[in-house]
Chain A
Amino acid sequence: MKKLEERIIGDLYREEAKSTATNLFIKIFSFSFFAFFTWIFASIVTEIVYKQSSFDLINFFGEDLEVWKKYFADNSLIFWDEMPKSILLITIILLMILFILVIAFIKNYITLRNKIMSIYKFYNKKI
């Protein structure tokens, strides 16, 4: 019976090691994939806005409160109009996906860490 128990435990660890490794790989891959594209699209948006000199519209922030009150609404509207909206939308969607991925990872972090520790302990004991 002891042999059977060991066989069950061994099988279980082997399967769990496989699934944890796959899970981790998928998570790392998807995170890097979305992070990379978010960075690319964000830099494109910044580049376009920078080339249009749209950032000049924000300079009034350094002025007094009265100037703020006077120009805030107008400047914001113009700034929004000058934005490349389709690329901005893609960037926001990518950012949201990235955010969801990070939240999911944080939520499962302890379980994942415990699993990895258990698997490491099991195989380390064997060696």
Chain B
Amino acid sequence: METPDIEAIMKVKNGELDYYGVIVKKYTNKVYHYISKKSPTYEDAEDLTQISLIKFFKSLKNFDTKRKVLPYLYQIAKNELKMFYRSRKQHLQLKEEFFIEEKQEVEKTDYLLETVSKKERKIIEMLSHGYTYQEVAVKIKKPLNTVKSIVRRAKIKIRKSKNNL
């Protein structure tokens, strides 16, 4: 960092705000050109430059004077650009049809689960919660192969009821 920068930053830290003018005059142009390459309009570039330089001023309290000003400013500008594009991103509105479709799907699954016995339903629910066959077998105190055949039978029942729907 050049000495005038250090001096100016130290003075700004000491409350002499006029010295921030030195930083602004020296770096506004550079930051503006950096941002204008990536922002859609000149007005946006100006706004983002303004925000970046004000954010730099606010972060001066914690700024390490051993670091260079320009890379730090570029980093702030980069973050501001990211935020700017993130805020402009369009959000997908939740349509009512999607909600209804999802609701119908849940109702259908509930109905299909009703076609199997209590024991079978319990095992399927455990498997859907992430338990392995082995863990289910230990939990319900049955051999692993029994669990596997219960699940196979339940699947056949569900498939049949699904076809009848």
Interface residues of A (CB under 8 A from B): 1, 4-5, 7-9, 11-13, 15-16, 110-115, 118-119, 121-122
Sample (5) of A-B pairs whose CB atoms are under 8 Å apart:
A4-B28, A111-B13, A114-B14, A115-B17, A118-B17
- Among B46-54, B94-102, B112-120, the stretch that binds chain A is B46-54
Instruction: Given contact pairs A12-B53, A115-B15, enumerate 7 new A-B contacts (beta carbons under 8 Å).
Output: A4-B28, A4-B32, A5-B25, A8-B28, A111-B15, A114-B16, A114-B17
A58 to B17: give the CA distance in the assembly, Å.
55
Interface residues on B, range: 10 to 19
Residues of chain B lying within 8 A (CB to CB) of residue A9: 20-21, 24
Q: Is there contact, CB below 8 Å, between A8 and B17?
A: no
* Chain A, residue nearest B21 (CB): A9
> Given the complex, which residues of B lie within 8 Å of A114, measured CB to CB?
14-17
**Of the residues B15, B46, B57, contact of A118 by C-beta under 8 Å:** B15
Distance (whole angstroms) from the CB of A111 to the closest CB of chain B: 4
Which chain B residues border A113 with CB–CB below 8 Å? 15
- What residues of chain A lie closer than 8 Å to B18, measured between beta carbons? 118, 121-122
Nearest CB in chain B to that of A10: its residue: B50
Contact, CB under 8 Å: B46 / A4 = yes
Say yes or no: B54 contacts A112, CB within 8 Å.
no
Tell yes or no: B109 within 8 A of A by CB: no
